[in-house]
Structures are given as structure tokens and as C-alpha cells.
């Protein structure tokens, strides 16, 4: 077994290097690449991705797995060897099932669909994107069928992001969450809305940047193995545990974007930095899932960064940084302002109380599309109807409605759930954390985050991809993914702010 495992690990290390290099190509493209270099970059990425695909689906891997599968069956299923074989099997079987012609078709489709989406959005005309969206849905239906039989046609799509999770499970969670979240928003809407005009002033970009950097330094983001750069669409990206980079953007006239965006990305980054070094360059050294990843970013952004104890420490720094803008704004008023609830059209600008509704809407529509119960032609109408149901709003146009997200034009389907599940998980973890670390609120009030980060390192980061997301949440919290803690968190927080 040892020798076979070593061979498997050697291949995984090579694949991991190729994937890291693809990530660097992506990072560079979004940060520093000259405008005229896109075509060449396309070739570089395609070559690296093809080599990675060829290597991980090579007959050699197939032979190794055939020999290892029976041997691994006798091992403790939580042992490193058993996990490694399981993850390699999953990767191999998923990837070898996709015909090369479908991979090539997807590449062409994405390129055309992305262009059409950009045009459709700028011209506010869904009809321009409709034929490409139909091809995306068709491709995704055929993709799902490669993995038949399934309980639900959406399962194979979801599984790419949340290994092992079923559509029915997510639907059950969301069915529990949705009415409670709608009810909360309605209660909040009946109360006077806090003022947040002070957030919309001129804030010198370099000072915004420096403040955000001071905060994430205190969080524990490791600059020796990371850095931060500007990007139009901020993201965090890993080239291995020793090089995990963040990006952010700064709006000169709005304080939240750089600040909370940077806190958010630092949560992603600290997760990737927390993967144990000995798992680096191995399939075991990946994050558990997109939802688990999002739970980390949302925990630092919201549970910490939008909390009162956090601002009890950092608000004086922020006021010193921007005395003219915030000198006259009291801590409580600031805290209420950054936590204002206001239903809006755009997902990425949504507050904590409304965000999940944007996500549930998208997942429901995706499911209806791949089930065939909703035609792409009817998608804008279905979108707008749900916006009215959940948020009481009707988008004035498709650019602020069905055309707002890039995901579908990139042939992504099954991804959105992670955003809402991540929120739920962050609150589940938080209940566990505050039980385990009774001194935490006081530590946060002192700007001390090392116990919190240590807890996340041990309980979440160190597990890497050893467990599927549901299993990991259950191991940590004793329960599967569940809407209860998140609703308790929202109701407690907004109950206090809005005096519900």
C-alpha cells in the first residue's frame, strides 16, 4: 500500500503544481496582466488545464486506484490513506466520465456566452443572452446525465461544489429558512430605518486600504505567505499553503466595499493558509467545499466584522483615520448604519438579512431549469416574481435582475447554494465557538483574535478535505447543516438593533 500511495501522491503533487500555476495565471490576469495579453493568456491557461486534466485522468491513475481500492477498504475510513484514495477515486471517476468533446464544447460555449451576457447586460436585453443560456442549461442537463442514476438531476451539479450533498437536503434546509427570513425582513421593514448616509462620503482610498490591512493583520492573516492587490472583482486565491493572496477594491465614496470586502477575503485566505503544511500538494490539502470556504469568509466579515464588540475595539481607530467623516458619528449609530437592512436588487450589495433570499431564488430557478419545468424564455418573469415574493421588489430591468450575475455565462450551475449554506454554517460554528471560548467577546473587544483563529485552525482548517461538508459540520457542531443558529443570530442581532 505504501508504495502505491507514494505513486499516487507523486501524481497528485504534480497535479497540484499545475493547478497552482493555473491559479497564478488567473491571479495575474485579474491584477497586473496588460490589456492586450488576453489571447496568449488563453493559450497558457488551456495548456496547463489540459495537462492537469490529462494527468489526473491518466491510465496510470486508473491502475493505481484499481489496486488501492480493495486495500483501502480495510483501512480506518478516516485515516489519511483511506481519505486520499477516496478523494482520488472521486476526482478520477468524475473527470473520466466527461467526454473530451463536451469539455471542448463547454470551452467554446463559455467564451460565446460570456460575450453575449456582457452585451445583453449592457443593453439591458435578456433576449441576446437567451440562446446561450439555453445552451448552458442543455449542457448542464447532459452533464448531469453522465452521472445517472441520481435522486435528482440537480444532484450531480451540486456535488461539484458540495461533495455528497443532495438537492433534497438543501431544499429542506432552505424551506425551513425561507419563511423565517422573509418574516424577519417584514418585521424589520415596519421599524424606522437607521441612517447610513455617513458611509457615503469621500474616504481617501489609501487610508481605507491601510485600515483594512490593520484589521486583517489583527485577525491573523499571514503576510509572510500572502499579499493583497486590487482587482475589479475581488477574490482570494491559493497557490499552496505558503502563498495565499487576497484582492480587494476601493470605492472612494463608500466605506463598506473595501472594508468588509477585505475582511471577507481574509476569511477565505486564512482558511487556505490554515491547511496543514504536510497536506500541501495533496488532494487531501484542499478545502472541504465551497460552503465551508464561504463559512470562513462570512464568519470574519459578519459574525466578527459587523459585531458590536469588534467595533468597540476598532471604531476609535477608524474615527482617527477619518475624523472629518466619522468624528461626529457615535459608535452605536455607526454600528446601526453598517447593519442597516434594506431589500435591494443586487445580490453582492445585499445585507445579512436579505442575502440568503437572493441565493434561494437563484437555486430554485436553476433547479426548475434543469428539471425542465421552467423554460429559459420565462426566466426573467420567474426571477421578477420571486423577487416580489421574497423581497417585495420588482427589478426595473434585466440588468438589475436576471442578468446581474456572471455565473451562468461561465457555465456554472450548482454554485450559488454555497453562499447561503456558508452563512448558515458560519452561525453554527459561532454557537460552538462561543460555547468553547467563553472569553471570546471580551477578547474581540480587546482586538485579540488568536484564540478564535486557533479554534478555526484546529476544528475547520486542519481537517482540509478529509470529510464531506455535511460530515464536517456534524463532527464540529453535532448537527448537520441547519438554519436554526443563523436565524437565532439574525433575530438576536436585528431584534436588538431594531427593537423588535
Residues designated as active site = 265
Based on the shown chain and the rule CB under 8 A, indicate whether residue 6 belongs to the binding site for a second copy. Answer: no
Cβ at position 113, least distance to a second copy in Å: 24
Judging by beta carbons within 10 Å of its beta carbon (0-12, 13-18, 19+), is residue 263 exposed, middle or buried? buried
Residue 393, all three cell numbers: 421588489
Out of 187, 214, 225, 313, the only residue in the binding site for a second copy (CB under 8 A) is: 225
Cβ at position 436, least distance to a second copy in Å: 30
Cis peptide upstream of residue 319 (ω within 30 degrees of 0): no
Q: Facing residues of 245 across strands?
A: 237
Out of 1, 40, 127, 371, the only residue in the binding site for a second copy (CB under 8 A) is: 40
- Calculate the alpha carbon distances from 218 to 38, 150, 208, 351 in Å: 37, 46, 16, 24
* Nearest C-alpha neighbor of 86 from the set 71, 72, 67: 72
The helices-and-strands tally (H runs, E runs) of the chain is 21, 3
Phi-psi region of 404 (alpha: psi -120 to 50; beta: other; left: phi over 0): alpha
Nearer to a second copy among residue 17 and residue 317 (C-beta):
17
Q: What angle do CA 292, 429, 427 make, to 5 degrees?
A: 90
Based on the shown chain and the rule CB under 8 A, indicate whether residue 26 belongs to the binding site for a second copy. Answer: no
In terms of DSSP H, where are the helices of 74-125? Answer: 80-96, 100-123
Size of the site for a second copy (CB under 8 A): 39
Nearer to a second copy among residue 81 and residue 241 (C-beta):
241
Out of 4, 11, 24, 182, the only residue in the binding site for a second copy (CB under 8 A) is: 24
Based on the shown chain and the rule CB under 8 A, indicate whether residue 222 belongs to the binding site for a second copy. Answer: yes
Phi-psi region of 440 (alpha: psi -120 to 50; beta: other; left: phi over 0): alpha
Nearer to a second copy among residue 4 and residue 21 (C-beta):
21
Out of 4, 7, 11, 14, the only residue in the binding site for a second copy (CB under 8 A) is: 14
b (16+ CB within 10 A) / e for 465-485: bbbbbbbbbbebbeeebbbeb
Based on the shown chain and the rule CB under 8 A, indicate whether residue 232 belongs to the binding site for a second copy. Answer: no
Based on the shown chain and the rule CB under 8 A, indicate whether residue 51 belongs to the binding site for a second copy. Answer: yes
What's 192's DSSP letter?
A: P
The span of 16-24, 68-76, 325-333, 367-375 binding a second copy (CB under 8 A) equals 16-24
* Nearest C-alpha neighbor of 20 from the set 208, 196, 243: 243
**Residues 263-302, mask of contacts with a second copy (x by CB under 8 A):** -----------------xx---------------------
Cβ at position 81, least distance to a second copy in Å: 22
* Range 111-170, binding a second copy (CB under 8 A): none
Based on the shown chain and the rule CB under 8 A, indicate whether residue 249 belongs to the binding site for a second copy. Answer: no
Nearer to a second copy among residue 14 and residue 349 (C-beta):
14
Out of 156, 220, 240, 469, the only residue in the binding site for a second copy (CB under 8 A) is: 240
Out of 5, 20, 72, 341, the only residue in the binding site for a second copy (CB under 8 A) is: 20
Strand residue runs (E) in 244-318: 244-248
* Nearest C-alpha neighbor of 11 from the set 47, 50, 72, 56: 56
Based on the shown chain and the rule CB under 8 A, indicate whether residue 417 belongs to the binding site for a second copy. Answer: no
The span of 28-36, 155-163, 397-405, 492-500 binding a second copy (CB under 8 A) equals 28-36
* Range 60-99, binding a second copy (CB under 8 A): none
Applying CB under 8 A, the residues found at the interface with a second copy are: 13-14, 17-18, 20-21, 24-25, 28, 32-41, 43-44, 47-48, 51, 222-227, 229, 239-243, 245, 280-281
Amino acid at each position: 500500500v505504501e508504495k502505491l500511495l507514494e505513486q499516487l501522491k507523486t501524481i497528485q503533487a504534480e497535479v497540484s503544481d499545475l493547478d497552482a500555476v493555473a491559479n497564478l495565471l488567473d491571479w495575474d490576469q485579474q491584477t497586473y496582466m496588460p490589456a492586450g495579453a488576453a489571447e496568449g493568456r488563453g493559450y497558457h491557461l488551456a495548456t496547463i488545464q489540459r495537462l492537469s486534466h490529462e494527468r489526473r485522468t491518466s491510465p496510470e491513475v486508473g491502475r493505481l486506484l484499481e489496486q488501492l481500492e480493495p486495500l483501502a477498504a480495510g483501512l480506518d475510513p478516516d485515516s489519511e490513506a483511506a481519505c486520499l484514495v477516496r478523494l482520488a477515486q472521486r476526482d478520477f471517476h468524475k473527470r473520466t466520465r466527461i467526454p473530451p468533446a463536451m469539455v471542448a464544447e463547454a470551452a467554446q460555449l463559455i467564451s460565446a456566452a460570456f460575450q453575449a451576457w456582457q452585451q445583453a447586460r449592457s443593453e439591458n436585453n435578456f433576449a441576446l443572452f437567451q440562446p446561450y443560456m439555453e445552451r448552458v442549461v442543455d449542457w448542464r442537463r447532459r452533464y448531469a446525465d453522465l452521472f445517472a442514476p441520481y435522486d435528482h438531476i440537480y444532484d450531480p451539479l451540486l456535488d461539484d461544489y458540495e461533495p455528497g450533498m443532495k438537492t433534497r437536503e438543501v431544499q429542506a434546509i432552505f424551506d425551513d429558512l425561507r419563511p423565517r427570513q422573509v418574516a424577519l425582513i417584514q418585521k424589520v421593514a415596519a421599524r424606522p430605518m437607521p441612517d447610513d448616509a455617513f458611509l457615503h462620503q469621500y474616504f481617501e482610498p489609501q487610508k481605507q486600504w491601510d485600515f483594512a490591512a490593520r484589521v486583517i493583520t489583527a485577525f491573523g492573516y499571514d503576510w509572510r505567505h500572502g499579499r493583497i492587490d486590487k482587482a475589479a472583482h475581488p477574490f482570494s486565491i491559493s497557490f499552496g499553503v505558503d502563498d495565499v493572496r487576497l484582492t480587494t477594491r476601493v470605492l472612494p465614496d463608500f466605506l463598506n466595499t473595501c472594508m468588509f470586502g477585505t475582511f471577507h477575503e481574509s476569511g477565505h485566505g486564512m482558511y487556505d493558509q490554515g491547511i496543514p503544511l504536510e497536506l500541501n500538494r495533496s488532494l487531501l490539502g484542499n478545502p472541504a467545499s465551497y460552503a465551508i470556504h464561504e463559512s470562513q469568509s462570512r464568519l470574519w466579515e459578519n459574525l466578527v466584522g459587523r459585531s458590536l464588540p469588534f467595533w468597540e475595539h476598532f471604531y476609535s481607530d477608524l474615527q482617527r483615520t477619518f475624523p472629518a467623516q466619522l468624528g461626529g458619528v457615535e459608535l452605536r449609530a455607526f454600528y446601526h448604519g453598517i447593519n442597516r437592512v434594506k431589500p435591494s436588487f443586487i445580490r453582492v450589495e445585499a445585507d445579512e438579512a436579505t442575502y440568503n433570499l437572493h441565493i434561494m431564488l437563484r437555486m430554485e430557478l436553476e433547479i426548475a431549469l434543469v428539471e425542465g419545468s421552467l423554460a429559459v424564455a420565462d426566466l426573467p418573469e420567474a426571477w421578477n416574481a420571486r423577487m416580489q415574493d421574497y423581497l417585495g421588489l420588482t427589478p426595473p430591468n434585466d440588468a438589475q435582475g436576471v442578468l446581474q450575475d456572471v455565473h451562468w455565462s461561465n457555465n456554472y450551475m450548482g454554485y450559488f447554494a454555497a453562499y447561503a449554506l456558508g452563512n448558515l454554517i458560519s452561525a453554527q460554528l459561532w454557537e460552538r465557538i462561543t460555547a468553547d471560548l467563553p472569553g471570546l467577546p471580551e477578547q474581540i473587544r480587546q482586538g485579540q483574535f488568536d484564540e478564535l483563529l486557533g479554534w478555526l485552525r484546529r476544528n475547520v482548517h486542519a481537517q482540509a478535505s478529509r470529510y464531506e461538508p455535511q460530515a464536517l459540520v456534524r463532527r464540529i457542531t453535532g448537527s448537520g447543516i441547519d438554519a436554526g443558529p443563523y436565524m437565532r443570530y439574525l433575530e438576536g442581532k436585528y431584534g436588538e438593533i431594531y427593537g423588535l
